[in-house]
Chain A
Amino acid sequence: MLKHLSFRQTYWLLGVLLVVAIVASAAIGAFSFTPAQMVRYLGQAAGWLPAVPGDTLGRNVLLGLRLPRVFVAGLTGAVLGVSGTLMQGLFRNPIVEPGLVGTSAGAALGAALVFVFGSGTALAFTHPLGSFAVPVAAFIVGFAATMLVHRLSTSFGKVNVFTLLLAGIAVNAVCGAGTGFLSYIARDPQARNITFWNLGTFTTADWRGVELIGVFFGLSFIWALRYGKALNALMLGENEAAYLGVNPRRLILWLLVVNTIMVAVATAMVGVIAFVGLVIPHVLRMMKSADYNFLLPASALLGAVLMEVIDIVARVIIPPAELPIGIITAVVGAPVFLGILLRQTRRGGSGFYG
């Protein structure tokens, strides 16, 4: 579809799509805005236009609620897209995504631990370092879970698909059970929200969330861009990559660290959102190229676009209520997952997108 475009032209195309999606996502919802209104409110907030008393409510909704949500959604989509790309490169398999290999479930468990035990000790939300306690705990448990799945599914430098699936199921089950237990024993009403948060939600998005996800995504993404060549080389196998000057052990460790940082922070803010990380690289490979130097930036852009669209759907499909994000992504993503899995097992584990 995009085969005749250069990589750079494809980025531009995706960038334009993203801007359109952001504007649409900012405009559509229980409180909808015309483009003219949005420009006026933004101008007033920046002090370029005089404040009109009648605009206060609309301005507050747009700036205090809608825009942070739009940016959290976009950044989360970018995180999940890039994470899916990194993990598919690491496991050399297109069925992999952060939800499958334990990163999301582990991060959720880590965050839930702080929600439940941290709030009792006043560590989580009042301590000066409190804003970092949730992402840090999410990182630690998410990293351990992903590392465990990778260890279990890899033997002699090769990833076995079935062991990978089974290890993923087991680790996710343990993390899920832990999170479930925590929400069961929780007394704080905030901790009771774990159940809802387990399906992913942008309703709690605020500017602090935008900053936190933005900073950690930005840093991890810039770091991840260094690994385009190494991920390509890894497609040949660990030994062949080593012959090309890649240190597979170090590469694997760094990929897990970078990936888990992004996913842990996003998961701590918005909860578990599955399948986005699976679909994004898959679509990009079919449309354009499997070259990781292309996939990394493109998956950030397309992930953000997709998440804006999904968030719009979540807001408008059953008004005045909202659908949890994870339900929509599962409905869209699960068939894609099954499709890839079937193709893979029938072809004996190789030759995708041929």
Chain B
Amino acid sequence: MVELRGVSYQVDRTVILHDITTRFQPNRFNVILGPNGAGKSTLLRVATGLLQPTAGDVRYGDQVVSSFSATDLARKRAVLSQHVELAFALTVEDVALMGRYPHYERVPSRRDRDIVQQALALVGMDDKRRQQYPTLSGGEQQKVQLARVLAQIWNDGDGAEHTYLFLDEPTTSLDVHYQIHLLDVARGLLHHDCTIVAILHDLNVAFQYGDVFFVMDAGRLAHVATAAAEVSRDLIERVFQVQAHRIHDPDTGDAVWRFALQSNGRRGGTGT
């Protein structure tokens, strides 16, 4: 469980997060929603321990995050960000192995190497493990980053502790195939004692994959919903400044959202 207690964050006089108290549910896919500038990324960075809140604290279980050593923290929580470019060419295997850095000193153990192979296999990149990272497509590169992150918090049931996976808009710039693949693999971790906290921009994808929804607006938590159906149309229209329409998939009955701009009712601002 990730718990935020009275978390505020400000830079100089600008308040970015305002007194947020909430809990991310264990073994669930927690999604942070909100318009650009609502403070989602800052909230995620505070929750990962990267940023120190200017007030309040963040706890994993019953321990304050800032009390962990950097290495201990890196062994239990991993973060996948938007597309990462590499200044120099490393092989796919080299990049994925970085996930094991918090687990060994100088030389990776047999187990570290095994975990890297399994993580690459899980994302379907094991056959390209000797290839140079910069020669891959953007979607493949993100698969390798996912493998790195999975290797970092790999949990093969040897009495290991609870882990936390944070996703900071990981699907931005990925085509629909890679998006779905990445989120499917991430959801698979929920069965291995892992809590996922994600920022997702595509509301339809968010509602498809998320379990719990944290809607942010202007640095505050506007609403927490424990099911997609609980996120109301009014809330979305108010927070995102759009007209929202909910339609239903005739085959599955799932809700699908369509959006348009509010002011003049002009259609075409669809997508998310």
* Chain A minimum-CB-distance residue to B102: A245
A353 touches B88 (CB 8 A): yes
A28 to B99, CA, bound (A): 50
Residue in A236, A240, A242, A351 whose beta carbon sits within 8 Å of that of B134 in the complex: A351
Q: Which residues of A contact B77 (CB under 8 A)?
A: 243
Count B-side interface residues using an 8 Å CB cutoff.
Answer: 28
A50 is an interface residue with CB less than 8 A from chain B = no
B134 touches A354 (CB 8 A): yes
A290 is an interface residue with CB less than 8 A from chain B = yes
Q: Which residues of B contact A352 (CB under 8 A)?
A: 87-89, 134
Q: Which residues of B contact A93 (CB under 8 A)?
A: 87
List B111-136 residues whose CB lies under 8 Å from chain A. Answer: 132, 134-135
B229 is an interface residue with CB less than 8 A from chain A = no
A232 touches B94 (CB 8 A): yes
Q: Shortest beta-carbon distance, B141 to chain A, in Å?
A: 11
* Chain A minimum-CB-distance residue to B45: A239
Residue in A229, A239, A246, A350 whose beta carbon sits within 8 Å of that of B87 in the complex: A350
What string of 1s and 0s marks CB contacts (under 8 Å) between A310-339 and chain B? 000000000000000000000000000000
> Contacts A247-B70, A354-B134: A239 and B50 contacting too (C-beta < 8 A)?
yes
A229 touches B84 (CB 8 A): no
B73 touches A245 (CB 8 A): yes
Q: Which residues of A contact B89 (CB under 8 A)?
A: 285, 290, 351-354
> Contacts A232-B98, A291-B94, A350-B134: A243 and B86 contacting too (C-beta < 8 A)?
no
B84 touches A242 (CB 8 A): no
A237 to B80, CA, bound (A): 12
- Report the tally of A-B residue pairs with Cβ distances under 8 A: 78
A232 to B133, CA, bound (A): 13
> Contacts A239-B81, A350-B134, A351-B134: A244 and B88 contacting too (C-beta < 8 A)?
no
B71 is an interface residue with CB less than 8 A from chain A = yes
Q: Shortest beta-carbon distance, B269 to chain A, in Å?
A: 31
What string of 1s and 0s marks CB contacts (under 8 Å) between B60-95 and chain A? 000000000011011101110100111111100010
A245 touches B88 (CB 8 A): no
> Contacts A245-B71, A246-B70, A351-B134: A236 and B101 contacting too (C-beta < 8 A)?
no
A244 touches B152 (CB 8 A): yes
B86 touches A350 (CB 8 A): yes
Residue in A240, A242, A246, A290 whose beta carbon sits within 8 Å of that of B88 in the complex: A290
A93 to B73, CA, bound (A): 29
Residue in B81, B94, B98, B132 whose beta carbon sits within 8 Å of that of A244 in the complex: B98
What string of 1s and 0s marks CB contacts (under 8 Å) between A85-113 and chain B? 00000001110000000000000000000
Q: Shortest beta-carbon distance, A152 to chain B, in Å?
A: 19
Residue in B75, B84, B132 whose beta carbon sits within 8 Å of that of A240 in the complex: B84
B8 is an interface residue with CB less than 8 A from chain A = no
> How would you classify the secondary structure of chain A's contact residues: helix, strand, loop or mixed?
loop
Q: Shortest beta-carbon distance, A87 to chain B, in Å?
A: 13
What string of 1s and 0s marks CB contacts (under 8 Å) between B38-53 and chain A? 0000000100101000
A235 touches B81 (CB 8 A): no
* Chain A minimum-CB-distance residue to B95: A236
A261 is an interface residue with CB less than 8 A from chain B = no
Interface centre among B45, B78, B102 (most CB of A within 10 A): B102
B87 touches A244 (CB 8 A): no
* Chain B minimum-CB-distance residue to A229: B101
* Chain A minimum-CB-distance residue to B99: A244
Q: Which residues of A contact B86 (CB under 8 A)?
A: 235-236, 350-351
Q: Which residues of A contact B78 (CB under 8 A)?
A: 243
* Chain A minimum-CB-distance residue to B94: A291
A290 to B94, CA, bound (A): 10
* Chain A minimum-CB-distance residue to B107: A293
Interface centre among B77, B85, B152 (most CB of A within 10 A): B85
A233 is an interface residue with CB less than 8 A from chain B = yes
Q: Shortest beta-carbon distance, B232 to chain A, in Å?
A: 34
What string of 1s and 0s marks CB contacts (under 8 Å) between A184-213 and chain B? 000000000000000000000000000000
Q: Shortest beta-carbon distance, B128 to chain A, in Å?
A: 14
Interface centre among B78, B81, B86 (most CB of A within 10 A): B86
A247 to B68, CA, bound (A): 13
Q: Which residues of B contact A247 (CB under 8 A)?
A: 70
With A235-B87, A239-B50, A350-B85 given, name 16 new contacts (CB 8 A): A92-B87, A94-B88, A229-B98, A229-B101, A235-B88, A235-B90, A242-B70, A243-B48, A243-B77, A245-B71, A289-B90, A290-B88, A350-B134, A352-B87, A354-B132, A354-B134
> What are 25 contact pairs spanning A and B, CB under 8 A?
A93-B87, A229-B98, A232-B94, A233-B98, A235-B86, A236-B86, A236-B98, A239-B81, A243-B48, A243-B77, A243-B78, A244-B98, A244-B101, A244-B102, A244-B152, A245-B70, A245-B73, A245-B101, A246-B70, A290-B89, A291-B94, A350-B134, A353-B89, A354-B132, A354-B135
Closest 4 A/B residue pairs (Cβ): A245-B74, A290-B88, A354-B134, A245-B102
Show the binding face of B for A, using Cβ within 8 Å.
Answer: 45, 48, 50, 70-71, 73-75, 77-79, 81, 84-90, 94, 98-99, 101-102, 132, 134-135, 152
Show the binding face of A for B, using Cβ within 8 Å.
Answer: 92-94, 229, 232-233, 235-237, 239-240, 242-247, 285, 289-291, 350-354
